[in-house]
Amino acid sequence: MTAYRDTYVGDLDADAAGKTVTIAGWASRIRDQGGVAFVDVRDASGLVQVVIAPDEVPELADVARNLRREYCVKILGEVRARPAGTENLDLPTGAIEIAAKTVEVLSTSQPLPFQLDDAVETDELVRLQYRYLDLRRDRMAANLKARSRVVAAIHHNLDSAGFMEVETPTLIKSTPEGARDVLVPSRHRQGHFYALPQSPQLFKQLLMVAGVDRYYQIARCYRDEDFRADRQIEFTQLDLEGSFWGQDEVLATIEAVVSDAVEAVRSAPLDLPLARMTYQDAMDRFGSDKPDLRFGMEITELSEVFAGSEFKAFASVVEGGGVVRAINIGASETSRSHLDGIIDRAKELGAKGLVWMVIEEGGEVRSPIAKFLEASELASITIAMDAGIGDVLLLVADESREASEVLGQLRLDHGRPAGHENLSFLWVTDFPVFDVTPDGGLVPAHHPFTSPRSVEELRESPETAVANAYDLVVNGVELGSGSVRIHDPAVQQEVFDILGIAPEEAHQRFGWFLEALRYGTPPHAGFAFGIDRLVSVLQNEPNIREVMPFPKTQTGLDPLTSSPSLVTAEQLAELGIELHPEVRETLEAHPAE
């Protein structure tokens, strides 16, 4: 196989007994049993027990005495069955062992900064500082393999479907798409900056103008936004686009790709087609545009019950055009302190207030507002909520969107199952073209190149216009989004007009792209989803950092390379950049930070 080995340890089983093999890897664990060393040797394929017995091979005495964990070794030995009663049924190679004849230490290792044992908790900063060691751990190695299998499945699927893989530039013009651009200064044109792409959106549309029928790319993207468990300043996504496509073609293509990726990791494809739900239905029923459908706990409309009730706090909200909505969180702790904690949580989420109800023995309703409601009103609530003995109901009165979003988060707090063992994929469709800001302005719900479902609807009522846009959701995680694009320059300008982007500004920001739309642009549509997010779900990892080879911390720090870092005054001068005096003073006062 190579000069260092002729066998991967993971390929060994009982049938290999009697064979002489050469393996290479790391001494993962060493146990000294009265002069005989039992060494677990690990390579990329697995782990096998090696027996170093100086009484059988005297030349191995020094090795057996001096070998340490994570020494890199090459071993020649005979495969044999383990003695009866010593088999390890939890290990694929647990029925056999290798009796070493020669052991060569290829390189030694310093004492480890942390144990490479998945059962041992280690501070994340230390893990990231020594990421090359962290990746030796079984869990992390499995995550890397899963990521590779996902990417390979994507390539195979799209190559077979006739897609062309095309790379797009990494240094582009700054065209803000919602998050801050990561800027790169130009040495040759001082005072000018490139931006790293937040996505290849405009370039893939240009490829459609160029006559590329089906495009895809495993693309690196960059967004200077606040870090969260599912976000990093740099990330990887599958990006694709097709000419003469509509929504149905995109959804069918992505379903096939994702199904193959899931099968590559979990050995079973998805049941297709995937479920679909409109944006409005998702918000009304689950309070989220990325609902987790692994459990019920749907939102119930109770506005009619409270419209004429004596509980004026809720009745006045309904009278003013608001709503009363609720969820049944099922059996839960019913102490006053626990219920007050839920009220505090609702206020943190932006609710003006929350009312709880507990269904007690005999169907009695315990609630701070029970005395304000008629028996018939309480009965209507329990029937509408399908409430049984011991159930806890949470009611919120507010504007429609606010009430649903608060209940949607409380639903996740109380209903979301631990981990990601099951997969519940869902298409959310028919998003609004625009979101309304608190001051009444309009911003793109996806991006300004998304096609409206109806141009007439866009003109008559832009606030309620529906887009040909769609998101793929799994287990409450937004995996990716896409849309049918605007291919008519006149419609594109109408969208810019609604957003308050004058022709001059549009030309300054997107002129190079808008010019291309004037040269026979075909109808086209596309999609992009996060590779990191998909793999994290498939591997039951709550944080995408666990499936990225070399991620940043929650604050954007890379402990491995100590970046971001300072650069010299000479480097800044070459770029025509001078630090702000306050920044310079801070750095001088704290030079080590």
| Confidence (pLDDT) at 178 | 65
- Asked if 142-280+424-547 and 296-415 have one fold, the answer is no
Burial (CB count <10 Å: 0-12, 13-18, 19+), residue 108: exposed
| Confidence (pLDDT) at 352 | 86
| Confidence (pLDDT) at 139 | 95
| Confidence (pLDDT) at 420 | 59
Instruction: For helices 138-160 and 531-538, give the axis angle rounded to 10 degrees.
Output: 120
- Considering the four listed CATH numbers 3.40.50.300, 3.40.50.720, 3.40.50.2300, 3.30.930.10, the one that applies to the domain covering 142-280+424-547 is 3.30.930.10
Strand residues in 244-279 grouped as ranges (E): 275-278
pLDDT in tens, 99-152: 999 999 999 999 999 999 888 889 999 999 999 999 999 999 999 999 999 999
CA distances from residue 420 to 291, 379, 474, 534 in whole angstroms, order as listed: 14, 37, 10, 11
- Which residues fall within 8 angstroms of residue 23, CB to CB, at 6 or more apart? 5, 7, 8, 9, 41, 43, 48, 50, 74, 75, 77, 98
- Considering the four listed CATH numbers 3.30.1360.30, 1.10.3720.10, 3.30.420.40, 3.40.50.12500, the one that applies to the domain covering 296-415 is 3.30.1360.30
Beta carbons of 293 and 426 less than 8 angstroms apart: yes
Tokens matching residue 77: 């030995």
Beta carbons of 157 and 571 less than 8 angstroms apart: no
- Residue from 542, 532, 578, 569 nearest 144 by CA: 532
| Confidence (pLDDT) at 177 | 58
Whether the bond between 452 and the residue before it is cis, its omega within 30 degrees of 0, is no
Which residues does residue 151 pair with via DSSP β-bridges, in sequence order?
none
- Report d(CA 236, CA 128) in Å as an integer: 19
| Confidence (pLDDT) at 176 | 60
Tokens matching residue 110: 């310093």
Tokens matching residue 371: 């005395």
87: left (phi over 0), alpha (psi -120 to 50) or beta: beta
Beta carbons of 219 and 207 less than 8 angstroms apart: no
Beta carbons of 197 and 206 less than 8 angstroms apart: no
Residue 426, phi then psi, degrees to nearest 5 = -155, 135
Q: How many CA atoms lie within 13 A of 314 on its CB side?
A: 26
Strand residues in 336-484 grouped as ranges (E): 355-359, 365-366, 391-398, 425-429, 434-436, 442-444, 469-474, 477-484
Q: Is the pTM of this model over 0.85?
A: yes
The domain over range 9-107 is classified in CATH as 1.10.3720.10: no
The domain segmentation of the chain, as residue ranges, is 9-107, 142-280+424-547, 296-415
Residue in this structure with the two tokens 């087609």, named with its chain if needed: 273
The count of other CB atoms within 10 Å of the CB of residue 306 is: 27
Per DSSP, 159 falls in state: H
Q: Could you tell me whether strands 365-366 and 355-359 are parallel, antiparallel, or unpaired per DSSP bridges?
A: antiparallel
Per DSSP, 231 falls in state: B
Mark the ranges of the chain whose per-residue pLDDT is less than 70.
176-178, 227-229, 419-420, 592-593
DSSP string for residues in 442-504: EEESS-TTBPBS-HHHHHH-TTTPBBSEEEEEETTEEEEEEEEBP--HHHHHHHHHHTT--HH
Q: Could you tell me whether strands 365-366 and 214-222 are parallel, antiparallel, or unpaired per DSSP bridges?
A: unpaired
